[in-house]
A and B are shown apart, each in its own frame.
Chain A
Amino acid sequence: MTLELFMVFVASTIRLSAPLLLAASGEYVSERAGIVNMSLEGMMLMGAFGGAVATAFTGSPYLGLAGALVAVLPIALLQSVLTNTLRANQVVTGLGINILVLGLTTLGYREIFGSRSREMIAGFDPISPPILGDLPLVGTVFYQAGLLYFAILMVALIAFVVSRTGLGIMLKAAGDNPHVTAISGTPVMAIRHGAVFFTGAMAALGGAFLSIVDIHTFTEGMTRGAGYLAIVAVIFGNWRIGRVMGACLLFGAATALQFQLPAMGIQLPNALLIMLPYVLALLAVAGLVGRQTAPRALSVPFWR
C-alpha cells in the first residue's frame, strides 16, 4: 500500500466512524447512568430523517441539524418515560421504538417528498483546519466535516465531565447503585431522564451526519444497524469512553477496508469485514477479550 493510499484509508476510516462516535458517546452516557437505549437505532434514523427534511425545506444544513435535534425529542421522551417512569423492559421498548421509527420515517418521507425522493439536499462541505490541514502527507486526513470535530470535542467533554466533575460522579453512581445514590440525596430519576435525552441528541446528530454530511439525501431505513453497532461499540469499549472511541474507529476501519481492499487487489469476502465488529463484540462480552465491567445496575429500573 502506498503512503498516499494509506492516508486515504485513514481519512475514510475517520469519516465512517464519525456517526458511530456521535451515537456511541451518547449511548455511553446513558449506560453509565444504568440505561440501555436499544432505541439508539431509531433515534439515529429519526435524526437522519429530521435533518434531511429540515435541510430540504430551509436549504440550510445548520437548520437541518436543529431539525434533527427537534425530531428526536418525542422519541427520547417516549424512551425516557417508558424506561424511567413506567419501568418498562428497556430492550423491548427499544426494539418497539425502532420498529415504530422505521415505519414513521418511511411513511413520512414518502408523504413529504413523494416522487422527488432522489433529490439531493444541501450539505456540509469538509473543512481544512488551519495548520493541521497544511501539513504534508497527513494534511488530507484532517480534511473532514466540521461535525466530526464537534464529535471529538464532545468525547473530550464527556470524558472530562464523567471523570472529573460532581455530575459525572452522580451519573456513575446512578448506574451502579441507584438506591443508595438516591438515599444520599442525588436526584437519580432526573439524572436518568437527562441521560436519555442527551443520548437522543447525540444519536440524532449521528443520524444527521449520515443524511446531511455523507450522502446528502434520505433513504428508507438508511441507518442500517448503525445504532446497534454503536451500542456494540460501547460494550466492546468496556464502558470506558476512550476505548469506546477506539472501538468506533476500529469498526470504521473495518468498513473502510471493504472499499479499500478491492482497490488494492486483495480479495477478501466482504461479509467477513462487515461481520468483524459483531464477532469482536461477541468475543468481548464472552469475556475472551479482557474482563467486562458493566455498570452494576445496567438495565435495572430504579424506584424508591
Chain B
Amino acid sequence: MSISAYMFSDKRLAGFNGVLARLAVPLAAVLAAFTIGLIAIIAMGVPLGDAVGAFMRGALGSPYAISASLNRAVALGLVGIGFIIAQRAGLTNVGGEGQIAVGGMIATALCLVPGMDELPAGLAFILPLLGGAVAGGLWAGIAGVLKVRAGTNEVISTLLLSFIATWLVYWSVQSENLLRQPMTNSATLPESLPIPAPTQVPLLTGSYASPVTWGLPITIVIAIFVAIMLGRSIFGFRLKATGLNPVAAARAGMPVNKLLVGALVFAGLLGGLAGALMLQGEQYSLKSGFSSGYGFDGLVVGLLARGSVTGVIAGALLFGFMRSGGISMEMAAGVPSALVGIMQGLIVVMIAGAAYYLDRSATR
C-alpha cells in the first residue's frame, strides 16, 4: 500500500474520536500558524491593529475584495478536489501547478482561434473551458499511464510534468509562432493577445466592482458531484478499494490500472479547468508564470482536507482569503506577504507531522 493511502485512509479515522481528531488537528495547526503570524507582526514593530485591519480589508473589506478572494478559492478548491480524488486511489498528485499551466495555455489558444468569439449560446467561453480541462486531464494522464505501464512514482512524474508545463507556457508566450502577441515595437510584452470579450467567463453580478465569475457556481456543482461520487458511487468505492489495497482490488476483479489512470485524469481535468477559469475569468491574457503558486497551494488545501470535499472547500476559502489579505497587508501596512507563506508552510508541516500520531490514536 502506498504511503499516502496509509496516511489518509478513512478507516483509520472512523468513529467519534476520528471525527474529533479530523477537525482538531487542522484547526490547531491553523490557530498556531496565525498566532505565530501575529507574534511576527509585533516583532517587526508594525502596529497589530494596522496589520490585521489591512489583512481584513484585503480579504473581506469590499465586494471587490471578497470577489477576488472567492475567485482565488475557486482555483484552489478545484485543484484540491482533484488532489483528494487521486488520493482516494492511493496516488499523490503534486502536479496541480502543471495542470493549471496547461489548462490555461490551451484555453487561451482556443479563445484566440478565429471565429471562436462568434459562437452562439455561450459556446464561445464554454468550449475553451472544456478544452483547458481536457488538456489538464491528458497532461495528468501521462503520469497515470507511466504509473501503470512503467511503475513510475507519480510524485516524481507529476512534479517533472509541472516544470515542463511551466516552461511550455513560457515558450508559448515568447514565440510569435505560438501565442505571443505580434511584436509592434521593442516594448511589446511577452504575453498573448487579450482574449475576446465573448470568450471571457461571465461575471455573476455583471459588474467589475464584484468580479465573481460563473466559476464559483460551477465549482460548487463539481464539489457536490464529487462528494456524491466518492461517497456513494461504485466508481468511488472502487477508487477507495484500489487505494487501500490494489492487489486485493485486482483480485476482486476491479480494473485497477484503469482506475489509477482515471483518478489522475480526473484530478488533471479539474486542475486544467482551474487554469482555464483563471485565464478566462480573471487574467484575460496568458503570461509566463501565471499559475505561480496556485498548484502548490491547491495541493496544500487538498492535504489539509484529509480526504473530505467539505474540508477542501473550507481550506480553499481559508487560503483564498489569506492570500488576498496578505497582499493587502503588504501594500497598506508594510508587512511582507511572505508572512502568509510562512504561515502556510507551518500549517503543512504541522499537519503532516501530526498524521502519524493521529492515525495511531485513531486505531487504538
Contacts and interface: CB of A to CB of B under 8 A. Distances in A.
A129 B95 CA distance: 45
A282 B143 CA distance: 10
Interface stretch (B119-127, B155-163, B267-275): B155-163
B164 A278 contact: yes
A91 interface: yes
Contact of A286 (B152, B344, B354): B152
Interface stretch (B61-69, B170-178, B242-250): B170-178
Interface in A264-304: 269-272, 274-275, 278-279, 281-282, 285-287, 299-301
Contacts of B354: 86
A269 B342 CA distance: 36
Contacts, number: 139
B348 A282 contact: no
Contacts of A87: 356
B60 to A, nearest CB: 22
Contacts of A107: 40, 336, 338-339, 342
Contacts of A278: 160, 163-164, 167
Contact of B167 (A91, A275, A300): A275
Contacts of B84: none
Interface string B145-188: 01000111101110111011001101100110000000000000
A236 to B, nearest CB: 10
Contact of B338 (A103, A235, A272, A282): A103
B344 A99 contact: yes
A292 to B, nearest CB: 8
B4 interface: yes
A97 B33 CA distance: 14
Interface stretch (B12-20, B202-210, B212-220, B295-303): B295-303
A301 B352 CA distance: 13
B164 A282 contact: yes
B234 interface: no
Nearest to A229: B163
B346 interface: yes
A251 interface: no
B3 A300 contact: yes
B357 A96 contact: no
B92 A282 contact: no
Contact of A285 (B153, B171, B347): B153
Contacts of A81: 353
A111 to B, nearest CB: 6
Given A87-B356, A103-B340, A235 B348 contact: no
Most buried by B among A89, A106, A225: A89
B150 A102 contact: no
Contact of B349 (A97, A282, A287, A299): A97
Question: Secondary structure of the A side of the interface?
Answer: helix
Interface in B277-297: 296
A29 interface: no
B299 A95 contact: yes
A106 B160 contact: no
Nearest to B163: A278
Interface string B300-339: 1001000000000000000000000000000000001011
Contacts of B175: 269
B193 interface: no
Interface in A33-81: 78, 81
B164 A99 contact: no
B348 A95 contact: yes
B42 interface: no
Contacts of A186: none
Interface of A: 78, 81-82, 86-93, 95-104, 106-107, 110-111, 220, 225, 228, 232, 235, 269-272, 274-275, 278-279, 281-282, 285-287, 299-301
Interface of B: 3-4, 7, 40, 44, 92, 94, 146, 150-153, 155-157, 159-161, 163-164, 167-168, 170-171, 174-175, 296, 299-300, 303, 336, 338-349, 352-357
28 contacts: A81-B353, A86-B355, A89-B3, A89-B4, A89-B7, A89-B92, A89-B352, A92-B92, A92-B348, A98-B345, A99-B344, A100-B348, A101-B345, A103-B339, A103-B343, A103-B344, A106-B341, A107-B336, A107-B338, A110-B338, A220-B338, A228-B163, A271-B167, A271-B174, A285-B152, A286-B150, A299-B3, A301-B3
Given A95-B94, A225-B163, A285-B150, 8 more contacts: A89-B7, A95-B299, A100-B349, A102-B341, A106-B336, A278-B164, A279-B164, A286-B146
Closest 4 CB pairs of A and B: A100-B345, A96-B348, A103-B341, A271-B171
